[in-house]
Structure 1
């Protein structure tokens, strides 16, 4: 680009920075035709054309074929939103077959990496690359994690013509989205059951920032036009818009199990109620007295948290918040109902979701059932899930670590005893029991404490239309 004639009009994606014309990797697809027209030497793409054939015998469902054709018609650029259990992985495998180019699959967890590795190996019967941790093996088809792809974006960025982002709602995190910025791939496919909303994105933003360093100043000048606080706009620019969507109810009865949801309300015991009212009063009293909702809008809770670092009254309110949440998340009434549900569904595979590890371990000890949390070692987790699938274990209690990335078709009963106000979390937990197995009906119970903030949290996490 140094020798471009002054009379030549340079395309819009280019910017003059540090003595050179530069553009972002994501814009490479836009300027490729211009490079060829100007006969400019182009050493960027190192991707390969492939000759793949399927080693497995399966057919796409009509909606999967429709999604695939829509993606192809959109120049292989955009996201597909399908419910958990609707076959997003199968759709991706067919997209790879239809495109026949070197492909990088990006996933959020190592567990998912191993699952994808096995599926890709079985589907195509060729060596599959894995790029994570201490293993750095790049093959024409490679699977990696979001953290590893971000750390090595400069290495991987020109190797692949197709990027597939599994669970793409993770991509907008401030550092992770640089994967899509720096890669030159002109074909991109995003997959998720829960496309992001702006209002439930900020927690992921702060979480990602804790362990990531920013890119160089020159790169930031190229990237500064992006707005990470608007994840939908971010994904539209980096991967393309949602080009196909199906909701759970669209596929219920055919691809997904018939299901029903039931809310069960319980009361606090007298001692719990007294303690809750005192703690909640302290908490909400500070919020009202300081007019946090009026002055900070949707960010009022973050302002409370910020003030608690240096202001004694705010710190007391924050401690009170932790106390009242602990009371409703671990209410004895929830344990009483759980006893009944375990008895009612003793012959069915059940997943129990709690808000915190402490309650999960308490349930595990009380009922002698296995527990999986973020503290569970990989080998133990695999053993528990294998035994659950085989029917040796009928129940698993967990927190958030099983919200996504597991395939347990045997599970047909889910019990939510506590969680966040995120509708994404609710949909993910429902999705754990929706994989079709014969004509078995799936049931999701949501146990909430009557006349407390637990009811409002439950209302907020209901899926949006």
Structure 2
């Protein structure tokens, strides 16, 4: 007689949640806790999650209540869940929305309290000084409209995140239709648009390759207004323009590019973060773009990469609908709370494995190839200053041979080699006889090489971190990562995303990380992999010497 094993979770009083990866219910438990728990560590057998106020508030804003969260913890926990933790979950989630920003019929924007004691507490905080006006009654205080964003930031930091119900200006009408001949919105894309529109503003989290641009286009069509789209770089701006021309009724004359090379303001304007954050004599010279039209929608591409000045600018845009698009809400600077308060909470989040199982992104095989440094390199590493060690390990010459062997295993595939250090990439490009794209490559040359890669004219491409985001390379089936931005989880997600578009023949995508053993390179690799582990992707670890004996990665 077989017995069902106890649950896969161990829920602890310090708000950590341990997940036994090999348990038969591990995948179901991972999906169930994903809306409210954040992954902290992901070694081979037990993953560690943590319950945080921001994670619980995001879940609350997305429509999950404390009863559901508690039910999930009780259902999957192996041992009794500490009662104090369940109480804390319920009380933390109950803090969201006790204060509301609302439109008053005669006094405009007000802060309305569902709990008067909370209102008294925040009124007595020095942090709210200058953000609030006249007190109308026991439950309502006038808010200066220009301070709507800053007040939300302060309230979040005080532990009382406000629910923003104040609505939005309509903006200048500009009809936009989706041209769905030969295609239609996928169910999850429609759910993402509906979730955003119902919430008014917020963030949609979708895997790379799952069609975030189409979600943006559909939101624009739903809005039917002038739209400002903020993107990471000029290549991304032009990809957005091309996709909008292909998927919507917009014409070239209706779409403007506002970048280093062009300054066009049109009903739909695509601007780069870089140009908006350019300063001259201490002044942001292009801020007028935010008021150049009566924008009805502001769209933030790759919201996890938003530069700090854009947050400050966004604080002044609270009366506009705002949509953030990203593959991961992880920010390496820890400013997820700014995204929550200024752009909005997470409105839709689709686990990568779920989208993969529906056939909309390619299945991926993730392999970490560990290389042992030769004795002289190990000695040089040991004697180096701490700040030099990562570069020495990440750019180890021995990685070149490993990359060549990996490329040779995929003669029929389109292969991307991705890294951080230019001298390392130049050497690899020379070894592989492949073109190299870096930040110094002109936009025109980048586009030419990306087009050649898409068409199959070029089958090997060596790229720096400029290809981390917003580059559409649907034919890429193999990515080999040789170095990265230290332990950046968001970068790992972006790089895997480059190869996730489904292949016509259903092939599996291959993602290799080449790592120097017993160095900080290996430590950073473990940190980088956390986000993907949360999505259900397990890294197999193989020794560089055993590559020839590893048929599973062929």
TM-score category (smaller protein):
0.7 to 0.9
Deviations 1:370-416 (A, max 9, x none): 11111112222222211111112111112211111111111101111
| Displacement of 1:434 | 0.6
Output aligned runs, 1:62-461, within 5 Å.
62-74=187-199, 76-122=200-246, 123-126=248-251, 127-133=254-260, 135-149=262-276, 151=284, 152-157=286-291, 159-171=294-306, 173-183=307-317, 185-197=319-331, 200-201=332-333, 231-253=335-357, 254-279=359-384, 282-283=385-386, 321-322=387-388, 324-419=389-484, 420-438=486-504, 439-461=506-528
Correspondent of 2:110 among 2, 6, 11: 11
Deviations 1:339-395 (A, max 9, x none): 211211122111111220010001112221111111112222222211111112111
Q: Given the two structures, how large is their TM-score scaled by the length of structure 2?
A: 0.63
SS in 2 for 1:23: helix
SS in 1 for 2:530: coil
Give the Cα–Cα distance (whole angstroms) in 1 for the partners of residues 255 and 426 of structure 2: 38
| Change over 3 Å in CA distance of 1:170–1:231 after alignment to 2 | same
Does the Cα contact within 8 Å between 2:255 and 2:266 map onto a contact in 1? yes
Give the Cα–Cα distance (whole angstroms) in 2 for the partners of residues 332 and 21 of structure 1: 59
Equivalence for 1:291: none
| Change over 3 Å in CA distance of 1:113–1:244 after alignment to 2 | same
Does the Cα contact within 8 Å between 2:146 and 2:316 map onto a contact in 1? no
| Displacement of 1:32 | 7.0
> Which region of structure 1 is more displaced relative to structure 2, 151-160 or 239-248?
151-160
- Structure 2: where are the runs of 5+ without partners? 1-105, 112-130, 135-142, 152-162, 278-283, 535-554
SS in 1 for 2:329: coil
Give the Cα–Cα distance (whole angstroms) in 2 for the partners of residues 96 and 114 of structure 1: 17
> Which region of structure 1 is more displaced relative to structure 2, 383-392 or 422-431?
383-392
Give the Cα–Cα distance (whole angstroms) in 2 for the partners of residues 256 and 8 of structure 1: 50
Equivalence for 1:55: 179
Does the Cα contact within 8 Å between 2:295 and 2:320 map onto a contact in 1? no
Does the Cα contact within 8 Å between 1:448 and 1:454 map onto a contact in 2? yes
Does the Cα contact within 8 Å between 2:330 and 2:489 map onto a contact in 1? no
Size of the aligned set, in residue pairs, is 374
Give the Cα–Cα distance (whole angstroms) in 2 for the partners of residues 236 and 32 of structure 1: 16
Does the Cα contact within 8 Å between 1:55 and 1:125 map onto a contact in 2? no
Does the Cα contact within 8 Å between 2:273 and 2:310 map onto a contact in 1? yes
| Displacement of 1:180 | 1.2
Does the Cα contact within 8 Å between 2:225 and 2:297 map onto a contact in 1? yes
- Structure 1: where are the runs of 5+ without partners? 1-6, 34-43, 202-229, 284-320
| Change over 3 Å in CA distance of 1:49–1:331 after alignment to 2 | same
Give the Cα–Cα distance (whole angstroms) in 2 for the partners of residues 351 and 92 of structure 1: 27
Give the Cα–Cα distance (whole angstroms) in 1 for the partners of residues 325 and 218 of structure 2: 13
Equivalence for 1:462: 529
| Displacement of 1:147 | 3.4
Does the Cα contact within 8 Å between 1:80 and 1:243 map onto a contact in 2? yes
Does the Cα contact within 8 Å between 1:329 and 1:354 map onto a contact in 2? no
Does the Cα contact within 8 Å between 1:129 and 1:137 map onto a contact in 2? yes
Give the Cα–Cα distance (whole angstroms) in 2 for the partners of residues 410 and 460 of structure 1: 28
Does the Cα contact within 8 Å between 1:416 and 1:445 map onto a contact in 2? yes
Q: What's the Cα RMSD here?
A: 2.7
Does the Cα contact within 8 Å between 1:153 and 1:182 map onto a contact in 2? no
> Which region of structure 1 is more displaced relative to structure 2, 329-338 or 44-53?
44-53
| Displacement of 1:240 | 0.7
| Change over 3 Å in CA distance of 1:146–1:264 after alignment to 2 | same
SS in 2 for 1:237: helix
| Displacement of 1:425 | 0.8
Deviations 1:249-304 (A, max 9, x none): 1211411001111111111112212212222xx53xxxxxxxxxxxxxxxxxxxxx
| Change over 3 Å in CA distance of 1:22–1:47 after alignment to 2 | closer
Does the Cα contact within 8 Å between 1:348 and 1:411 map onto a contact in 2? yes
SS in 1 for 2:171: coil
| Displacement of 1:119 | 2.2
| Displacement of 1:14 | 5.0
Give the Cα–Cα distance (whole angstroms) in 1 for the partners of residues 364 and 456 of structure 2: 21
> Which region of structure 1 is more displaced relative to structure 2, 122-131 or 261-270?
122-131
